[in-house]
Amino acid sequence: MPTRAAVALVATAVAVVLLFSFKTPAQARPRTPSADVAQATPTPIALPSDSPATTATPTPTPSGPTYKDGQFTGQDVLTRFGDVQVKVTITGGRIANVQGVQLPYDRQRSAEISQYAAPLLHDEVLQAQTAQVDSLSGATYTSDAYAQSVQAALDQAHA
């Protein structure tokens, strides 16, 4: 399991263009017909511009190209939600983590509690690569819904 501490920092970064959008996947948004959703388009974040090569990948997939291990911080990108900058950790050629370095600040809350408003970056990463989990948290399902749930599959897989 990759840990941040174990990830080597690589100075000569191979640029990776990480595409992400400011919403959950399109098929996942049928219930909230908001203007926000319709206009959201993938926003490319270019990683260090002095890097030698650029590989554009529409969606990272398990069988897709592998990346050079290391941590890469993207350029600051001004979005309609504010400044966004992300750090991508690559381990074993795969995206291991995506962290917000600079994300829009919520001015409503008190100064001592910092809080990010981030796109669902993890969602996309997790869909691209099998997410291995022990248990699932979600809104309470009914007994009947459990039978169809991922938790039921996990329980059976473990038993």
For another protein, the closer CB: 17 or 154: 154
User: How far apart are alpha carbons 146 and 28 in whole angstroms?
Assistant: 20
Q: Which of residues 35-94 bind another protein (CB under 8 A)?
A: 36-37, 40, 81
**Among positions 34, 55, 59, 66, the unique one binding another protein when judged by CB under 8 A:** 34
- Which residues are within 8 A (CB) of 21 and not within 5 positions of it... i.e. 6 or more apart? 40, 41, 42, 43, 119, 124
**Among positions 5, 6, 27, 58, the unique one binding another protein when judged by CB under 8 A:** 27
Residue 147: CA count within 13 A, CB half-sphere: 2
Residue-wise burial string across 54-77, b where 16 or more C-beta atoms lie within 10 A, e elsewhere:
eeeeeebeeeeeebebbbbbbeee
Q: Find the part of the chain contacting another protein (CB under 8 A) among 8-16, 19-27, 52-60, 69-77.
A: 19-27
Kindly state the number of chain residues that form the binding site for another protein, as judged by CB under 8 A. Answer: 63
Q: Footprint of another protein on this chain (CB under 8 A)?
A: 1, 22-25, 27-32, 34, 36-37, 40, 81, 97, 99-100, 106, 108-110, 113-123, 126-127, 130-143, 145-146, 148-155, 157-159
